[in-house]
Structure 1
Amino acid sequence: MSPRTSAGDTPTGRDNRLRDICGRLKEWRPVKTFESLFAELQDRAANRPEGSATVAALDAGVHAQGKKVIEEAGEVWIAAEYETDDQLAEEISQLLYWVQVLMVGRGLKLEDVYRHL
């Protein structure tokens, strides 16, 4: 996709191009949202693409998924204490992924969680 791609041409309809510290456009990169990640995980659960790590994680069951949530939560804490903001953001993204895998594994919907926010 060219750097001149308009906001309407992005998958989300928003301008997802990254900007450097001076505000110059760097590249176009799709941005996942909490909702789009959840939709992607639900799709993988329904269609079960061969070789999918998400399918394997779902098949491993809630116990294994819960262990990954705990592991990733610990890594978020450690990153918050000792790592860069970028490393912390990466760990948080992994925690969010595993929380959503657990949600899909249990059959929860986003609305089930949103009711409690």
Structure 2
Amino acid sequence: MAAYANFPTEEEQPDVNWEEVSPILVVEVLVDGSIEKDLGRNPPLYLAVPTIREYWVIDGTVNPSEPSLIQYVRRGKKWAITTHPFGATFTPKALPGFSLVIDPRRR
């Protein structure tokens, strides 16, 4: 998943140059077989995109029903990495007013 800031409205989309539209946030779900891709290859790739401010990985590899959330926050040319445990309420600075309880069973 990706979140965009100032994304073109429906009226503007026919004129969109998709090379000029970049996400501010990317979210992935870590599953068996993608650990190296999601935690090894992707962080440097996303850091190379200047608009991406945060990268989140929902990690259910240890226990899929109790995932943690790994948060990468851009700090200059590096990521600051924080892991939020299962059951925590996650409130990112990049999305004011948004919070997420890290629990797939909550509705």
TM-score (norm 1): 0.26
Q: Which has the larger radius of gyration?
A: 1
TM-score (norm 2): 0.28
Structure having the higher strand fraction is 2
